[in-house]
Amino acid sequence: MDALERIAAALERLSPPPLAPADLLAHAAYTWRAGRLHPILLEALPLDRLLGLDRQRDALFANLTRLAQGHAAHDILLWGARGSGKSALAKAAVAAVQGAHPALALVVAGEIGALPALFGELAGLARPMAVFVDDVGVDAPGDARALRSLLEGGAEPRPRNARLLVTANRRHLLPRDMAEQAINPRDAADDQLALADRFGLSLGFHALDQDGYLAIVARDAQAHGLAWQPAEALEWAQRRGSRSGRVAAQFVVELAGRAGRSIG
């Protein structure tokens, strides 16, 4: 027993000390990982870099400003085409609001299942929190029910100081297997809306037209002093099967790489 105790004591001395809890009033952004909140750097584009999203920008900025001021604010669903700027706008809007209202913090939740424990940490905190869940896919009926409960104040309601900021590729967050097995089309539509309608603010994002796509390429290429040709930019988008801000940014990275340049 003495030997075992000595081994246990040695292992305890070698183990790292427990991490101190993060100061939830000190940082602009956090991530929820392994049951703890960890400070992170909020990397966001300036709002004026996001072209063609004026309506979504204004609505999101106004709602987040209300949250930052402690006023009534909606949970937010940003839905639409992949690469259309949903996540970029979410982070950019939070960063812009923080310029005037530093009390607001962004919390990256990761996934729906993490929300009840995360909300337990945020409850009672005297700070407004935008809880960001990116690229949500509701893959099981239980996920949909859990999210509905959180949105409508069920058994595990979200705290008064927190609002959800959710992005998804589909407007109607419905498990695919439930949609396929639904017998009555009207019932399927009602099930779809049952979750999406819980968000007080729903903002749609759509694929860019040709002019919008080229405008983003032109702006970013000019910002980095890069020469480019519209025909090549359009060919790049055609090969990737979409015109989006993400595809435009990838094309500019390609231009910079060819020119032997580095861009952030």
- The predicted-structure confidence for 3-36, as pLDDT tens digits, reads as follows 666 665 655 555 454 455 678 899 999 999 988 9
Q: What is the dihedral of CA 44, 47, 48, 50, to 10 degrees?
A: 80
Identify the three-state secondary structure at position 133: strand
| pTM score over 0.85 | no
CA 185/CA 41 separation, integer angstroms: 45
pLDDT at 34: 87
144-196 pLDDT, tens digit per residue, is 667 777 777 665 677 889 999 999 887 656 555 544 444 445 544 454 556 77
Q: How far apart are CA 131 and CA 150, in angstroms?
A: 12
